[in-house]
Amino acid sequence: MAIFVDKNTKVIVQGLTGGQGRFHGLRNRDYGTKIVGGVTPGKGGENVEGIPVYNSVKEAVAATGATASFIVVPPKFAPAAIMEAAEGGITFIVCITEGIPAHDEAVTYNRLVEEFPGVRLLGPNCPGIITPGQCNIGITSGDIALPGGPVGIVSRSGTLTYQALHELSKQGIGQTTCVGIGGDPVPGTNFIDCLAAFEADPETKAVMMIGEIGGSEEERAAEWIKTNMTKPVVSYIAGGTAPAGRKMGHAGAIISGSKGTAQAKMDALAAAGVHVCLNPTEAGEKMVEIVRGL
């Protein structure tokens, strides 16, 4: 099985006619993802290498039966694109756009929660999601993912998402689904959302969780794991040497006072029974050890 997306997921690409939308949309299609349409206002009736383009999400959903959308548009257009997807009938939205103001992210997220409770947003500013061998929505390279499970991956960092996949695949350990939730202050999908989905998935036997400094999502996840998770979790927290008060890469990766430090997160996870590792390679090795012992 998989979480959120699988071989049957029909996907439209909002921004398919743009340079990045075309590149990643066709790359996802070539992986095997069911890219059934694109959306660019004013370009309805055109096509991108055989993929039909529609003027609106509503029109695209009516014509194709799509349930997922891949948003590849500039920051100033992304909030409106997210809302158009929800209003058009899409239930799973992946937005990779970075640089969206935090205020706009918060307003958009709150609108989704209040007006469209059945819609899930992944991102913004994330690498997307891949269920190896079935569906890839985003910018993750399918070459480093290995089908067949039994490990689920959730990560705030895009680069470390790729490394987690690579560390497991090179050891012959497959993945059920790998979710990059992104590192912005207002993520549409968080650690707990993914952990709960992996806990409910019978084919996921263990979970790798990659966090980073800033915010309190990892501590919240630790509390959830302590009371709800029955499957082993391996974790790595990036940013252990980051100085306080300085933003490191992601907008959400900033330490404020005593909150958000790597050590605080590691301590909370360890107290919850998580196998906490000091680098990505060690995390991969620990997961291999756990899987081979199942």
Q: pLDDT at position 243, please?
A: 52
Give the helix, strand, coil percentages of the chain, each rounded to 5: 35, 25, 40
Average pLDDT over residues 161-170: 95
Phi-psi region of 115 (alpha: psi -120 to 50; beta: other; left: phi over 0): alpha
Phi-psi region of 128 (alpha: psi -120 to 50; beta: other; left: phi over 0): left
* Active site positions, annotated: 250
Residue tagged 């290498």 (tokens): 49
Q: What angle do CA 235, 195, 203 make, to 5 degrees?
A: 100
Residue 244 clears pLDDT 60, i.e. is over it: no
Q: What band does 248 get if pLDDT is binned at 50, 70 and 90?
A: very low
Residue 165 clears pLDDT 90, i.e. is over it: yes
Residue 152 clears pLDDT 90, i.e. is over it: yes
Give the closest residue to 48 by CA, choosing from 19, 8, 11. 19
Q: What band does 253 get if pLDDT is binned at 50, 70 and 90?
A: very low
Q: Which domains does the chain have, with CATH numbers?
A: 10-122 (3.40.50.720), 140-293 (3.40.50.261)
Average pLDDT over residues 125-149: 96
Average pLDDT over residues 170-178: 97
Q: Cβ(25)–Cβ(72) under 8 Å?
A: yes
Average pLDDT over residues 205-212: 96
Other C-beta atoms within 10 Å of 105: how many?
A: 24
28 Cβ contact partners less than 8 Å away, ≥ 6 residues apart: 11, 13, 35, 70, 136, 137, 138
26 versus 241: which is more confidently predicted? 26
Task: Determine the number of helices (DSSP H) and then strands (DSSP E) in the chain.
Answer: 9, 14
What proportion of the chain, given as a percentage, has pLDDT over 90?
A: 87
Q: What band does 105 get if pLDDT is binned at 50, 70 and 90?
A: very high
Sign of CA dihedral 210, 109, 134, 143: negative
Give the closest residue to 215 by CA, choosing from 252, 169, 174. 252
Q: pLDDT at position 20, please?
A: 97
Q: pLDDT at position 158, please?
A: 86
* Neighbour-count burial of 267, counting CB atoms closer than 10 A to its CB (0-12 exposed, 13-18 middle, 19+ buried): middle
Per-chain mean pLDDT for the chain: 93
Q: pLDDT at position 254, please?
A: 47
